[in-house]
């Protein structure tokens, strides 16, 4: 199983959150990759980059994204067969983004969003979770979720074990 991480608009491919989650994935026997989008500010060009990687993937994979990277992961999951999708503070329903409706092919989607997020309102995740009938974890934390990293890590480990059938 391979895990593809997509970082947010102002972070990088191996930030603190991705490193922590990648460690969990590696400990569970997964291969990990974190796509570098730092040269692209357009979220839909980021989707194209991710799809160009995924279209070459022969093994099953899981998509994980944070903020704009969550948008990228979710939109990409409409065109590929992702085993599961894990979204953190997803940048959904942003007026300047091309996609405003989301129809993932994945049946296993979980969202983590901080109540104190002042960048992307938690209501956006509530709306998507309701529309998609997926699991939503509203936790204490801001947009970066950095103060809640261990909670996110625990949720991710449970999500990953479930997605892998463990």
Map out the domains of the chain as residue ranges: 2-163
Q: With CA atoms as reference, report the closest residue to 93 among 51, 48, 126.
A: 126
The architecture of the domain spanning 2-163 is 3-Layer(aba) Sandwich (3.40)
What is residue 166's predicted lDDT score, i.e. its pLDDT? Answer: 83
Span 70-94, average pLDDT? 98
User: What is the residue-wise DSSP string for 1-20?
Assistant: -EEEEE--TTS-TT-HHHHH
Averaged pLDDT score across all residues of the chain: 97
State what percent of residues in the chain have pLDDT above 70: 100
Span 30-48, average pLDDT? 98
User: Could you tell me how far CA 39 lies from the centroid of its own chain?
Assistant: 19
**Is residue 51 within 8 Å of residue 80, measured between CB atoms?**
yes
- In this prediction the pTM is 0.97
What is residue 25's predicted lDDT score, i.e. its pLDDT? Answer: 98
Quick check: 78 pLDDT over 90?
yes
Span 37-59, average pLDDT? 97
Span 128-139, average pLDDT? 98
What is residue 88's predicted lDDT score, i.e. its pLDDT? Answer: 98
Q: Is 69 exposed, middle or buried (0-12, 13-18, 19+ CB in 10 A)?
A: buried
The band of 98, judged by pLDDT with boundaries at 50, 70 and 90, is very high
Helices and strands (H, E) in the chain, number of each type: 5, 6
State phi, psi for 81 to the nearest 5 degrees: -105, 70
What is residue 8's predicted lDDT score, i.e. its pLDDT? Answer: 96
Q: What is the pLDDT of residues 109-125, one digit of tens each?
A: 999 999 999 999 999 99
CA distance 22 to 7: 12
């Amino acid at each position: 199983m391979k895990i593809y991480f997509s970082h947010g608009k102002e972070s990088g491919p191996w930030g603190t959150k991705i490193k922590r989650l990648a460690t969990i994935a590696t400990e569970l026997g997964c291969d990990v990759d974190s796509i570098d989008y730092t040269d692209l500010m357009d979220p839909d060009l980021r989707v194209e980059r991710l799809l160009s990687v995924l279209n070459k993937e022969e093994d099953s994979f899981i998509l994980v994204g944070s903020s704009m990277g969550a948008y990228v992961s979710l939109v990409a999951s409409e065109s590929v067969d992702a085993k599961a999708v894990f979204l953190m503070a997803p940048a959904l329903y942003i007026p300047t983004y091309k996609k405003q409706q989301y129809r993932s092919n994945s049946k296993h989607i979980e969202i983590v969003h901080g109540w104190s997020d002042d960048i992307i309102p938690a209501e956006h995740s509530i709306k998507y979770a309701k529309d998609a009938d997926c699991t939503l974890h509203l936790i204490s934390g801001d947009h970066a979720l950095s103060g809640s990293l261990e909670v996110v890590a625990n949720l991710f480990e449970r999500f990953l074990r479930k997605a892998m059938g463990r």
